[in-house]
Amino acid sequence: MPPTPPHRATFPTTRITLIDAARSGTTSRAQEALSILCRSYWYPIYAYVRRLGYAADEAEDLTQGFFSRLLEKHYLRDFHSERGRFRSFLLTALKHFIANQRDWATARKRGGAHPPLPLDDVMHDAEHRYGLEPRDDLTPDRIFERQWAVAVLARVQNRMHAEATAAGKLTQFDRLKGLLTGDDSEISYRALAVELATTEGAVKVAVHRLRQRFKELLRDEIAQTVASEQEVGDELRYLMNALRS
């Protein structure tokens, strides 16, 4: 799956760092942190709203409005990493927002809502992405969870992309990133070695290191959104099951 293009801001990209900063208030630092969180996790929100039956334009407005509401009302101050998963907190907050969306729409018309966060540049293909969702019986909750898992994996790939760029190994990473998961039964390491002008053994070592780094960053990404280290394994299994659902 292609990762979402990395956000270019110099802000720290660790999830709890961002969440804590976003909770800090209405400073420019808090707004930037919330903006990065929005860009990372807007699509699971959009997919949830669409699966509820809202039209595409309504889902876009509600997605924008939800994140704006988080900023306006400082709802992230209610999140405490030691008490649960950020994924669950965000979904609960979204459900409350949808239940009260008529009040929010009225406030927006009166000028009482916070200006929408700048998501237009990342939401332009929202309906195209939603059109690729399987026509199955997934509930709004399940599609949210699956797309949250996809967003986490995209975050990990973006971090690996940045590391490969810094190390001058972007060409190698772009060619081998498709091998981060899965078995080796149908991989032609010899062909890859020829393509990358290296040896078959060197390619195997590179793939092994990439897979190890992928696992490390995946656990790190998940660790930023759960209460304790003991919950990382459970959350990882939960998200992998969501992807397979």
- Residue 81 domain-assigned (yes or no): yes
Indicate the pLDDT class of residue 2, thresholds 50, 70 and 90: very low
Per-residue burial over 48-67, b = 16 or more CB atoms within 10 Å of its CB, e = otherwise: bbbbeebeeeebbbbbbbbb
- Residue 7 domain-assigned (yes or no): no
- Residue 29 domain-assigned (yes or no): yes
- Residue 1 domain-assigned (yes or no): no
Q: What is the pLDDT of residue 182?
A: 67
Domain that holds residue 129: 15-244
Q: How many independent structural domains does the chain possess?
A: 1
Q: What is the pLDDT of residue 45?
A: 94
Q: What is the pLDDT of residue 26?
A: 61
Q: Please state, rounded to an integer, the average pLDDT across all residues of the chain.
A: 80
- Residue 4 domain-assigned (yes or no): no
Compute the distance between CA of residue 236 and CA of residue 186 in angstroms, rounded to an integer.
Answer: 26
Tell me the pTM. Answer: 0.76
Contact 134, 125 (CB under 8 A): no
Indicate the pLDDT class of residue 116, thresholds 50, 70 and 90: low
Residues constituting the chain = 245
Q: What is the pLDDT of residue 43?
A: 93
pLDDT digits (tens, 9 = 90+) for 164-174: 999 999 999 99
CA torsion, ordered 188, 211, 14, 78, to nearest 10 deg: 110
